[in-house]
Amino acid sequence: MGDIMLRRSHPSGGLRSQAADGSSVVTAVLPREAESVPVARRLVRHTLADWRLPQLIDAAELVVSELSANAVEHARHASVRVTLQRRPGNRVRVAVTDKSTDLPVLLPLADDAESGRGLALIAAVACQWGTDPLPWGKRVWADLEPEQGQEEPSCAPMYAGHRAQLLYVLIVVTLGVLVGLAVISGTP
């Protein structure tokens, strides 16, 4: 991903920086444990909301979940690095770096397999994905981009956090109930 200069902390706990090409980067080093997978999803969710790319949140959360879970399961070092890079054309690269030199393998899907579908899911939602072997490990990445015509968010508000989404739904439902009660009781 090129040389990265540290700038400041991101509200989600990651470090905000700028790559040598000027693109925005948010990165976080997380412990190699299962509890880090939801932390990685939260980093993705908050970063993409901050970048005003809510249409990529679901796919990016799926990608970072699969890549982080693979690193937790297969790597042998105490930590992993999660990186998001905003590239030209609103393309976003989601990457997980670990210190295992074992490269991931896209397995054929078997009906009775209990695992091994992660890379197939990533390949299905990403416009491109790959692995960069490093002298001490590897970086597995996936590029996501909005579909044509989805560059701008829709007119309906998009809330990045599940709590905010729940609160929004609760408000809308409450207003609907109050309007319904007002109509039933004949009050204007």
Specify the pTM: 0.71
| 8 A C-beta contact, residue 85 and residue 93 | yes
Report residue 114: phi and psi, to 5°. Answer: -90, -10
Q: Are 23 and 3 in contact (CB under 8 A)?
A: no
Task: Kindly report which listed range (12-16, 92-96, 140-144) carries the lowest average pLDDT score.
Answer: 12-16
pLDDT at 60: 97
Would you place residue 156 in the very low, low, confident or very high pLDDT band (cuts 50, 70, 90)?
very low
Amino acid 20: pLDDT: 84
Per-residue pLDDT, 173: 66
Task: Determine whether 121 is exposed, middle or buried from the number of CB atoms within 10 Å of its CB (0-12, 13-18, 19+).
Answer: middle
For the cut 50, the answer to whether the pLDDT of residue 157 exceeds it is no
In the predicted structure, residue 149 carries a pLDDT above the cut 60: no
Which pLDDT score, from 0 to 100, does residue 12 have?
56
The reported pLDDT for the residue numbered 150 is 47
pLDDT of amino acid 84:
97
9-48: pLDDT as tens digits: 545 568 888 888 888 999 999 999 999 999 999 999 999 9
| 53-81 pLDDT tens trace | 999 999 999 999 999 999 999 888 899 99
Q: Give the neighbor-by-neighbor strand order of the sheet with 24-31.
A: 4-9, 15-19, 24-31, 79-87, 91-98, 137-144, 128-134
Amino acid at residue number 150? Q
Asked whether the beta carbons of 86 and 96 are under 8 A apart, the reply is no
Q: Once rounded to an integer, what is the mean pLDDT over residues 103-130?
A: 81
Q: How confident is the model at residue 147 (pLDDT cuts 50, 70, 90)?
A: confident
Average pLDDT score over the chain: 80
